[in-house]
Amino acid sequence: MSRRRRRPATMLAGLLILALCALLLPPAPVAGAAGPSRTRAVPLAELTVVSEQVAFGLQRPIAITGLPDGRMLIAEKNGTVRAYHPDTGLAAEPVLDLTSRIDTSDNERGLLGITPAPNFARTGILYVAYTSLPAGALTLARVPIGAPDRVQVLLTQEHAEYGNHNGGQVAFDRDGYLYWSLGDGGHANDPFKSGQNLGTLLGKIVRIDVNRACGGKPYCVPSDNPFVRTPGARPEIWVFGLRNPWRFSIDPVDNSLWIGDVGQGLVEEINHIRPWQRGANLGWSCREGTPVFDQTQCRPGTRYTDPVFEYEHYLTENCSVTGGVVYRGSATPEARGVYVASDYCSTLAFAVRPKPTGGYESATIGNFPIQPTAIGTDVNGELYVLSDLPGWLSRVRFERVQPAAR
């Protein structure tokens, strides 16, 4: 009798312990469930990029951005903006036409950058960068999609003497501030010595608050911009010492800036600027990458921020870096956190990734399609690339490969 009474009590205690364990242990992963990935990053040498052409017939596509509804907007150099959706393809008619405002008199002038406002789903507002008629001034403006007559110019910088080195990327950070890149004024050898001059926006990346207006301007300068209290400096400047930052991107995970800065002819460089590095001097035209370029532009005691990756331009197939993006998609979890960029002439795919212990690792992981002008992401973080003269849009994915035998 006593043994029969103790057995149910023992079983009940065991079941109670199991129930408590079930409550305390984390739930088992469910296939296909959303959530943070625990996939281990793989060595860069085990990755390669594979491209698939998804649209053609574009006229010199030079900038690309994703929309919340799944569409991609593609800026064409002449001033038109086309829409692509993976389900319906490339729309025949542009969603925005700014051609009456755009100066296309030089190979590097035109509509240069485009990005949606953070509240685009509600407002339909786009921010665009272009060289404007009649004199090629670098121009930052906003415009409702489909309403070119309602353009509002926010900020301009004279750029009349030479047609090259316009920069032109625009992007929002996760705090809602807008960044815009501008080249050094063109020609060669930094003719206006703009790179090290804080009194001009040439050769800089600026950061402004476009959600407010201040002092008669249609924007405000954030109070934590690095040169707000520097006499003679433009307060909009975030970083300086750039030659032609044609393409940059902002990693939404840490709000850091990845910049592809086009070199003079010796090296091409990629810079990685974290928020605490505001005000960084990237060297031009004292330096081109890490080598000294013009000793007269170097100042004793000045601290220059080195690129995290540079590659040879001189006597190679390379000619102009096309800055890229940090991959944050889900199709290839092993590649998350990898920054990927290319070169307009060689089309090499360069992968760069911060090391957990400090420093960076890099590798060449294949090729992009011909003449890559811009690398962007859709709403899911998956990669697309534009090809200039062929007028192509290609989807890009990562694949695992076996490392080369040693």
Q: Supply the pLDDT for residue 105.
A: 95
Alpha helices (runs of H) in 35-153, residue ranges in sequence order: 120-123
**List of domains in the chain:** 51-400 (2.120.10.30)
Q: Supply the pLDDT for residue 20.
A: 39
What is the helix (H) or strand (E) element at residue 326, kind and residue range? strand 321-326
Q: Is 289 helix (H, G, I), strand (E, B) or coil?
A: coil
Is the distance from CB of 60 to CB of 391 less than 8 angstroms? yes
Q: Is 24 helix (H, G, I), strand (E, B) or coil?
A: helix
Q: Supply the pLDDT for residue 389.
A: 98
Phi, psi of 403, rounded to the nearest 5 degrees: -60, 150
Divide the 406 residues of the chain into consecutive groups of 10 and give the mean pLDDT of each group: 38 41 40 49 95 98 98 98 98 98 97 98 98 97 97 98 98 98 98 98 98 97 98 98 98 98 98 98 98 97 98 97 98 96 98 96 98 98 98 97 74
Q: How many residues does the chain have?
A: 406
DSSP-derived secondary structure letter, 29:
P
Cβ atoms within 10 Å, residue 177: 23
Question: From CA 362, how far away is CA 309, in angstroms rounded?
Answer: 8
Cβ atoms within 10 Å, residue 224: 10
Buried b or exposed e, range 278-304, using 16+ CB within 10 angstroms: bbbbbbbbbbbbeeebbeebeeeeeee
Q: Supply the pLDDT for residue 31.
A: 34
Interacting residues of 379 by C-beta distance below 8 A, sequence separation 6+: 66, 67, 68, 69, 70
Q: Supply the pLDDT for residue 185.
A: 97
Cβ atoms within 10 Å, residue 392: 21
Q: Supply the pLDDT for residue 10.
A: 40
Nearest in space to 171 (alpha carbons), one of 260, 262, 289: 260
Q: Supply the pLDDT for residue 165.
A: 98
Question: From CA 191, how far away is CA 68, in angstroms rounded?
Answer: 42
Alpha helices (runs of H) in 105-210, residue ranges in sequence order: 120-123
DSSP-derived secondary structure letter, 84:
E
Phi, psi of 195, rounded to the nearest 5 degrees: -55, -40
Structure tokens at 390: 């062929």
Q: Supply the pLDDT for residue 38.
A: 60
Question: From CA 253, how far away is CA 256, in angstroms rounded?
Answer: 8
Question: From CA 123, how far away is CA 144, in angstroms rounded?
Answer: 8
Question: From CA 47, how far away is CA 400, in angstroms rounded?
Answer: 5
Q: What is the pTM of this model?
A: 0.90
Is the distance from CB of 152 to CB of 121 less than 8 angstroms? no
